[in-house]
Amino acid sequence: MPRKQQVEFLALPPVPDTTLTKVDLVFPASVRHLMPRREDIPTDYPRRGEWKKFQATWFYQGLDPARVKAKPGVDLTKALAHLTCIQRSFEPKHEDKVDAVSWLAPQWLDESSLEVVS
């Protein structure tokens, strides 16, 4: 099934109101419900390569949350908790985590967050 294409963000999806516990953050077991379906993630979107680099840097080197900024109206704590659970889980394939975090992050995080990996 071909993946949908999108050239710009049309609407800012809210961070799902999912209650994540401290245990979820340390040992995230099942995270599929936190991830978009792979076929719903566009293959091309603004600054895709930079957001993939952001995800990889976070995954392999860690991320200083103080240097990350949320878009207006987005709860940064909830957004980072959501993305952290996806990043740390062993459930999905690594490629699926890369796609999910690289797609969700720019919808919730300000582009200035990309400076973390510059």
The pLDDT tens digits of the residues spanning 76-108 come to: 998 998 999 899 888 889 999 999 999 999 999
Residue 17 lies in a domain: no
| Residue 89 is assigned to a structural domain of this protein | yes
End-to-end CA distance of the chain: 35
User: Which tokens is 25 given?
Assistant: 């953050």
- Do the domain assignments include residue 112? yes
- Domain presence at residue 97: yes
Counting DSSP H helices and E strands in the chain, the numbers are 4, 0
% of the chain surpassing 90 pLDDT:
49
CA 33/CA 57 separation, integer angstroms = 24
* Between 29 and 112, residue with greater pLDDT: 112
pLDDT at 94: 93
Could you list the residue range(s) of the whole structural domain that residue 106 is in?
22-117
Q: Is residue 10 part of a domain?
A: no
Instruction: Report the domain count for the chain.
Output: 1
* φ, ψ (nearest 5 deg) of residue 80: -65, -35
Q: Distance of CA 19 to CAs 62, 93, 94, 98, 118, Å? A: 23, 23, 24, 22, 32
70, part of any domain: yes
In a domain, 26, yes or no: yes
Residue 30 binned pLDDT confidence (cut-offs 50, 70, 90) = confident
For residue 14, tell me if it sits in a domain: no
Residue 100 in 3-state DSSP? helix
Q: What is the pLDDT of residue 90?
A: 87
Closest to 105 in 3D by CA, of 48, 28, 62: 48
Looking at residue 10, its pLDDT comes to 40
